[in-house]
Amino acid sequence: MLVNFSLEGKVALVTGGVYGIGFAIAKALHEAGARIVFNSNTQSGVDMGYANYKEAGIDAKGYLCDVTVEEEVKEMVADIEKNIGVIDILVNNAGIIKRIPMTEMDVKEFRQVVDIDLIGPFICAKAVIPSMIKKGHGKIINICSMMSELGRETVSAYAAAKGGLKMLTRNICSEYGEHNIQCNGIGPGYIATPQTAPLREIQPDGSRHPFDQFIIAKTPAARWGTPEDLMGPAVFLASDASNFVNGHVLYVDGGILAYIGKQP
């Protein structure tokens, strides 16, 4: 059975795979045998990625590329195909969040979130699918969110984008499943990353941050997730073990979506 989880000889592009969730997923794919490619939209991000992969003993290839600019993505994918190989696995991980009340949010800010979190995955998937069709197989993993299912204060743009990404996942499955391309999503719960660090800061009086308390109370596992919690699910969805799993979002959330919460 374990051979079904092997990614030996595969090429995996993890967008925004510089640190945090993307880096953990890239590390897992590498440990399963894949060659890792990542990108950042800044040179400093690319340099940080190289440093992190080097420290982890991973020979990764980085690109300076903005996933919202179709020509840049096309050039990156063409270079990967020419110099490394056809992309077998695409992980659409690049994303941002802006926590701003909807009525205070500028339209430009809303569009920026949607451009990166939804349009970017569309552009990247569009770029890799033709070669996946020719090769006869491919895996696309979209990093969705619990906000693909739920709403919450201050995240209107993020929830709209991640809800759209869930449906893009299903539609890629619907259009290209007959070509042996599987497109699935991973929906992380609240993960302890640098991005969420401010929400976990200990308060001056020694108490936990109110949002930290809220998440612990709402999570049956009674803890935040870690990037490492996403490694196994990512390898599964990238491997032949999931060849008949398509259009699905696997929520790795410690049980939040299944739980109504404790009675007051």
Is 158 a known active-site residue?
Answer: yes
Q: Are strands 61-64 and 35-40 parallel, antiparallel or unpaired?
A: parallel
Q: Which of 180, 72, 77 is nearest to 127 (CA)?
A: 77
Cα–Cα distance between 43 and 223 in angstroms, integer? 35
Q: Is 203 exposed, middle or buried (0-12, 13-18, 19+ CB in 10 A)?
A: exposed
Cα–Cα distance between 49 and 18 in angstroms, integer? 4
Q: Which residues have a Cβ under 8 Å from the Cβ of 205 and sit 6 or more positions away?
A: none
Cα–Cα distance between 74 and 196 in angstroms, integer? 32
List helix spans (H) across the chain.
20-31, 43-55, 70-83, 107-114, 120-135, 156-176, 210-218, 231-238
Residues across the chain: 264
Q: At what angle do helices 70-83 and 120-135 cross, to 10 degrees?
A: 30
Q: Which residues have a Cβ under 8 Å from the Cβ of 221 and sit 6 or more positions away?
A: 254, 255
Q: Is 50 exposed, middle or buried (0-12, 13-18, 19+ CB in 10 A)?
A: middle
Set 53, 63, 158, 176: catalytic member: 158
Q: Which residues are catalytic?
A: 158
